[in-house]
Amino acid sequence: MRTRALTPIKYYRLPWNLSDNAITWLEPTTKCNLYCEGCYRENDPEGHKPLETVIRELESVKKLRRSDGISIAGGEPLIYPQIVDLVRHVAAQGWKPIINSNGHALTPELVRDLERAGLVGFTMHVDSHQKRPGWSGKSEAELNALRLSLAEMIHEAGRGRVACAFNATIYRDTLGDVPMLDRWAEEHMDLVNTMVFILFRSAKLLSKQKDFDGFVNGKKITAKDLKALPYQLDHMEDHEDIMAQDIADAMRRRSPEYEPCAFLNGTEDPAAMKWLLALRMGRRAETLGWMDPRFAEAVQSLHHLFHGTYLAYSRPGSLKNAQALFFLALFNKGLRRALLRWLARPSRWIEPLRMQSVMVIQPCDVLTDGRQSMCDGCPDAIPYKGRLVWSCRLDELERFGGFIMGFAKKKPPQA
Model confidence over 73-90: pLDDT tens digits? Answer: 999 999 999 999 999 999
Distances (CA, A) of 112 to 82, 109, 155: 15, 5, 10
- 384 — pLDDT class (breaks 50, 70, 90): very high
**Residues of the chain with pLDDT > 70: what percent?**
96
Tell me what the mean pLDDT of segment 102-115 comes to: 98
pLDDT tens profile 345-355? 999 999 999 99
Which pLDDT band, with edges at 50, 70 and 90, does 232 fall under? Answer: confident
The pLDDT of residue 245 is above 90:
yes
pLDDT band (50, 70, 90) for residue 209:
low
pLDDT at residue 222 in the model: 86
Domain boundaries, the chain: 8-204+240-402
Predicted confidence (pLDDT) at residue 71 exceeds the cutoff of 70: yes
Measuring CA to CA, which residue among 77, 149, 84 is closest to residue 111?
A: 84
> Is-contact 181 139, C-beta < 8 A?
no
360 DSSP β-pair partners: 197, 276
> Looking at 322-396, which runs of residues are DSSP E strands?
354-361, 365-366, 372-373, 381-384, 387-390
Q: pLDDT band at 148, cuts 50/70/90?
A: very high
pLDDT band of 25, cuts 50, 70, 90: very high
- Domain 8-204+240-402 class in CATH: alpha beta
- Collect all residues with Cβ–Cβ distance below 8 Å to 170 and sequence separation of at least 6: 127, 177, 178, 197, 198, 199, 200, 242, 247
pLDDT band, very low/low/confident/very high, at 212 (cuts 50, 70, 90): confident
Mean pLDDT confidence for 335-360: 95
pLDDT at 309: 98
In the Cβ-directed half-sphere of 175, how many Cα atoms lie within 13 Å?
A: 19
pLDDT of residue 93: 97
Mean pLDDT of 255-271: 96
Per-residue pLDDT, 318: 87
Residue 168, C-beta contacts closer than 8 angstroms, at least 6 positions apart:
125, 126, 127, 140, 174, 181, 195, 196, 197, 198
One-letter amino acid at 361 equals: I
Q: What is the mean pLDDT of residues 330-343?
A: 93
Q: Given a cut of 60, is residue 1 above it in pLDDT?
A: no
Q: What is the mean pLDDT of the chain?
A: 94
Sign of torsion over alpha carbons 389, 390, 395, 401: negative
Model pLDDT, residue 210: 65
Lowest average pLDDT, out of 95-109, 132-146, 211-225, 386-400, goes to 211-225
CA-based angle 21:91:158, to the nearest 5? 105
Q: Which residue has the higher pLDDT, 214 or 19?
A: 19
Return the pLDDT at 28.
Answer: 98
- Residues 190 and 188: their CA atoms lie apart, in Å, by 5
pLDDT above 70 for 412? no
Report the pLDDT value the prediction gives residue 411, as an integer from 0 to 100.
53
Q: How many CA atoms lie within 13 A of 96 on its CB side?
A: 22
pLDDT at residue 402 in the model: 95
- Are 303 and 311 contacting, i.e. CB atoms less than 8 angstroms apart? yes
Residue 414: pLDDT band by 50, 70, 90 thresholds? low
3-state secondary structure of 125: strand
CA atoms within a 13 Å half-sphere pointing along the CA-CB vector of 244: 30
